Structure 1
Amino acid sequence: MSHVTARVSEGERDRAVELVQQAYADGLLAPAELERRLERALTAVSAHELEPVVADLPDQVVHIASTGGRVTRTGDWHVPRRLRIDSEYGRVRLDLSRAHVPYSRIDIELRLAYGGGTIILPAGASANADGMRTEWGKVICKAPGRQSPGRLHVQVTGELPYGRLTIRRK
């Protein structure tokens, strides 16, 4: 009986590279350690080989939960690299157009039971919402799905059973 190992996807490899680069930018890694980890991340074939490259690096998720109220972020706010919002009945409005986004890619996970949401992107940004699971809900993405070099890319995942999510530029 042979042991089957899961191959690393391009997205998993990109995420590992971003975590290593961010850890270096945050002063957590020396230049030699950055180089060593990037080489290991870029040459990893399996998830087993990739996991130790990032296992000790911070990858915090900012989690916001609401039962019935609105979750709104507008103006000059700091956008985390990973944001998760759980909202039972309320609406979510994330305006990234004037926000401080220190990353080239951010991940937003939305779990909106009955509510809906709007994500407003800055000029030139792209978004992919293919990871949203809907039942009676609807996802409308008016932004390009492919990232442009040097521009922000927003990856949106989660569940939207009944509501509506709109992703658009300012």
Structure 2
Amino acid sequence: MISLPEDQPRRISEGERDAGVRRLQEAYAEGHLSHEEMDGLLQQALTAATHGQLARALASLPAEDAGTTSAIGAVSGRILRRGVWRVPRVLKVESALGRVQLDLSRAVFEHPVVDIELHLGTGRAKITVPRDAVVDIEGLRAGWKDTLYRPRRGAGSGGPTIRISGAMGMGRLKVRHARR
């Protein structure tokens, strides 16, 4: 029997592997792992190719702190976040008629993975991400116009993973990497 692509385990990205390694390092620093355990699990995480393999390497760790969830909403007008600001683990953005501009280039990331849930009726959204960020827009549904995003060459070297999901009605999302 030939296995179909859907039957294949999904491969992990370098950003997901790096996030797993950071989790192991944090657990070691907090005293949850011995030096020997850290060495073995780190080897498993670094050689993991699929989500299942990475999950097995992280299975003995305490539950990850889910972090905070914050919501920003407006019926109309403009939602703007820029400069130095703390990015929560989950950021929900809702706007019926306005524009959304999130500049994450100078933001403080306390979590290796950040989920941004967009729920926009009409209007544009622009998200500027750090230069080394990994961006995943697979969970976003666009009703009217396609999302504009071109991944950076060489992106994903130690930066946060930003997963953008939700739904856009008649607007367009533009995601770009910061220049510096």
- Say yes or no: TM over 0.5: yes
C-alpha displacement of 1:121: 2.1
User: 1:30 maps to what in 2?
Assistant: 32
Question: Which one of 147, 158, 170 corresponds to residue 162 of structure 1?
Answer: 170
Deviation string, structure 1 residues 125-161 (Cα, Å, up to 9, x no partner): 4423232111213311144276332234433222112
C-alpha displacement of 1:75: 0.6
Segments ≥4 residues shifted beyond 6 Å: 36-41, 48-51
Deviation string, structure 1 residues 36-88 (Cα, Å, up to 9, x no partner): 87688769849x968965673211342314141533211111123x3232313
Alignment root-mean-square deviation, CA? 4.0
Gap regions ≥5 residues in structure 2: 1-8
Question: Which one of 75, 78, 84 corresponds to residue 86 of structure 2?
Answer: 78
Q: How many percent identity over aligned positions?
A: 24
Q: In the alignment, is residue 66 of structure 1 matched against residue 48 of structure 2?
A: no
In structure 2, relative to structure 1, the CA distance for the partners of 1:51 and 1:58 (3 Å cut) is same
Letter of the 2:27 partner, please give it: Y
Deviation string, structure 1 residues 12-43 (Cα, Å, up to 9, x no partner): x7598268348538x65523397387688769
C-alpha displacement of 1:118: 0.8
> Paired residues, what number?
164
Q: Return the alpha-carbon distance in structure 2 between the equivalents of residues 15 and 150 of structure 1.
A: 7
8 Å contact 2:91–2:117 — kept in the other structure?
yes
Alignment of 1:14-163 (within 5 A): 14=17, 17=20, 20-21=23-24, 24=27, 29-32=31-34, 35=38, 45=52, 53=60, 56-69=63-76, 70-80=78-88, 82-89=89-96, 90-144=98-152, 147-163=155-171
C-alpha displacement of 1:162: 1.8
Q: Give the match's secondary structure for 2:34.
A: helix
8 Å contact 1:19–1:59 — kept in the other structure?
no
Q: Between 33-42 and 120-129, report the one with greater CA deviation.
A: 33-42
